Chain A
Amino acid sequence: MSEAVASRRISSHLLGWGLLLGSALAIAYVRPKVVAGVRETKLLSDVLTLPPPDMLVAASLGYRSALADFLYTTTVITYSIHSEERRRWEFVGQYLDSIVALDPHFCQTYRYADTFITYQPIGSPGPDEIRHARRLLEKGLQMCATDGRLWLSAGQYMIFIGPQFLTDEAEKADFRAAGAKMLTRAAELVSDNQNVQWQALAAAGVFTREGNREAAISFLERVYHIADDDQLKANIANRLALLRQEGALEEARRQAEVFNEMCARDLPFVSRTGMLVLGPVYDAASCAGIGRSAGPCAETWADWATTLRAAP
């Protein structure tokens, strides 16, 4: 081998190693600036890179669960990175929609849906986001119908968390009513966490405040029959007694009001005692089916009270 060839080979090797070293140095020099630039760019806004859920299902080529797992992991990480950067993640709802479109029985998604949507690092969720969380939870309850923790979590969200971000009072009441029903279901489902039934008792309070005492009593009776905890049973028994007592008082008050109205309308000059002696107003023709019935057609006050109790 001539000297010239050897020299060219050495030059070639030196050039190669030089390039290698230069590349390493260039990476070391450029990388921090590029990464900083990329991060600065990301700070400004997010871009939704997901196609619509139905297209995503087709694009998964049948690997729906795998893609749902991947998207769920991406969602958890992206949510956390937004928390680090103190930015709202406006597309979290779309990610969650995509996951449940791919794998509707992926219950973990529903358990975290309200947290991801409601508890963002800055700002408060708007009514639309709260409704979005509700839709996801309701879908989750259909898909994971035996998940007691999900029923409890959804019920608590509907009663205590969601309404505070809503403005319409009727919608708030609707949320609470739906939440109470979810808590009712949570209490009925078998769970390794006995505390679920204790916490679900909040549903009775919601029913009572709505004026739906019968629903509260019915709920408590159901929980009473399935509860194993003696302390819980005693608590429910006390509540039931109180509600029934309040119910009886309410019924007596209603009867008295109707009685007073009737006295004032029909025989205002007769005393209450006199009215009790006379008996309820009985419109014979109406009660025989001629014309429109004007009253309960009771012949005694006892019958009158029974008819009144049966009336809504």
Chain B
Amino acid sequence: MRSLTPVEAAVAFALGGSVLAVAIPEFVRGLHASRLAEPVDGLKRIAASAVSVAQDNLSEPGFPPTVALTPPEVPRGVRADDPPGAWDQPTWRALGFSFDHAHAFSFSFESSRTASLAHFRAIAHGDLDGDGVVSTFEIEGEADSTGARILPGMYVDREVE
């Protein structure tokens, strides 16, 4: 079999290089972006569970107590397994929220209450590119004597960091 002439090699290099130059960044971008489904779905699950809990006792509306960021250190550029017992805190148990696989985001839950209104904010932070700058996703809800509800929409800041 004869070898490629320099012209043929140049054409092959140009074509192959063009394809790779488009495909590799898109693949990396897709891989990076695919992790954004985690905070959105996680916060939706937390919010739905929180209003379930509050709806259960409208005579004294309230959400589970505040719980700090879990895991405390936001994974930097990796999907990390949680240390044992990370989700055993009573609030996470009440919300039925945990991960049984490696994940890229840390979650917290803030709860406050006045005489007539209870409010919660669930927060997710991630650092997908590992540069120390974190993204923020938030969802809120409230409860009073008429019912518990998730406030429409989700606040997102620096999702691409």
Contacts and interface: CB of A to CB of B under 8 A. Distances in A.
A160 B120 CA distance: 15
Contacts of A26: 14
A186 to B, nearest CB: 11
Interface in B28-59: 29-30, 33-37, 40-41, 44-45, 47-49, 51-53, 55-56, 58
- For this complex, into which size category does the number of interface residues on chain A fall? 35 or more
Interface stretch (A73-81, A273-281, A291-299, A302-310): A73-81
B76 interface: no
B27 to A, nearest CB: 10
Interface residues of B, number: 46
Contacts of B45: 153
A15 B6 contact: yes
Nearest to B8: A16
A41 to B, nearest CB: 14
A157 B22 CA distance: 39
Contact of A79 (B13, B18, B37): B37
B152 A124 contact: yes
Contacts of A200: 52
B153 to A, nearest CB: 7
19 contacts: A20-B10, A31-B21, A35-B22, A77-B34, A79-B36, A80-B30, A80-B36, A81-B30, A83-B156, A115-B40, A119-B40, A119-B44, A124-B152, A160-B51, A160-B52, A160-B148, A164-B150, A196-B96, A198-B53
Interface of A: 12-13, 15-17, 19-20, 22-24, 26-27, 31, 35, 73, 76-77, 79-81, 83-84, 112, 114-116, 118-119, 121, 124, 153, 156-157, 159-161, 164-165, 193, 195-196, 198-202, 205
